[in-house]
Amino acid sequence: MTRTKKATLISLSILLTISTLTGCGAKSVSNEATATNPTVSGAAGSKPLIGAPEGAAPTTLVTNDIIVGTGKEAVSSSTLTVHYTLMAWSTGQVVESSWDGGSPATFPLSGVIQGWQQGIPGMKEGGRRLLVIPAELGYGAAGGGPIGPNETLIFVVDVISVS
């Protein structure tokens, strides 16, 4: 084999390795964020059970489908009817849950925090998604209601209907 062909094969091999590692790196970041996320269990249609998170909170929005829905898909202009549970990352305590009130919440997606506006589109009716929302996409430095300043929010959201 000529020196040029060897150099070309080595270059291709290096590019393939870099491409593979780059892909693995992206997955690794995602897996790293997932490793500290709370566990979510519970059957579809029932209140989720959320285990407290461990470690440092992620600094970017994390979404994880627990149950993939099969109905109509949510888009940024949708009005949603959902059940949700909210946990504070810093305490691992549930702050609020629509399941406890017995009724789901209905609202336009465009009227809620940025973490929901970015993390809910693409969900389908019947789906359940974990959202871990950094403070800047939630209530920020001011906090709000029972949410303290700079709190990372953990939501488990069940989409009941999309209109």
Work out the pLDDT band at 99, boundaries 50, 70, 90. Answer: very high
Strand 93-97, strand 79-88: pairing = antiparallel
State the pLDDT confidence band at 1, using cuts at 50, 70 and 90: low
Give mean pLDDT, residues 134-140: 97
Whether 10 shows a pLDDT value over 70: the answer reads no
State the amino acid at position 139 in one-letter form: Y
At residue 48, φ and ψ (nearest 5 deg) are -70, 150
The tokens for 74 are 């949510």
Q: Which residues contact 24 (CB under 8 A, 6 or more apart)?
A: none
Structure pTM?
A: 0.78
Closest C-alpha to 49, from 15, 24, 78, 85: 85
For residue 58 the two structure tokens come to: 């992620």
Q: Which run of H or of E encompasses 155?
A: strand 153-162
20-55 pLDDT, tens digit per residue, is: 333 333 222 333 444 478 999 999 999 999 999 999
What is the mean pLDDT of the segment spanning 49-69?
A: 95
| Tally of CA atoms within 13 A in the half-sphere of 51 that contains its CB | 10
Task: Kindly indicate the confidence band of residue 81, based on its pLDDT and cuts at 50, 70 and 90.
Answer: very high
pLDDT at 18 over 50: no
Mean pLDDT of the chain: 83
Specify the 3-state DSSP secondary structure of 25. helix
As a whole number of Å, the CA-based R_g of the chain is 20
CA distance 79 to 105: 10
Average pLDDT over residues 104-133: 98
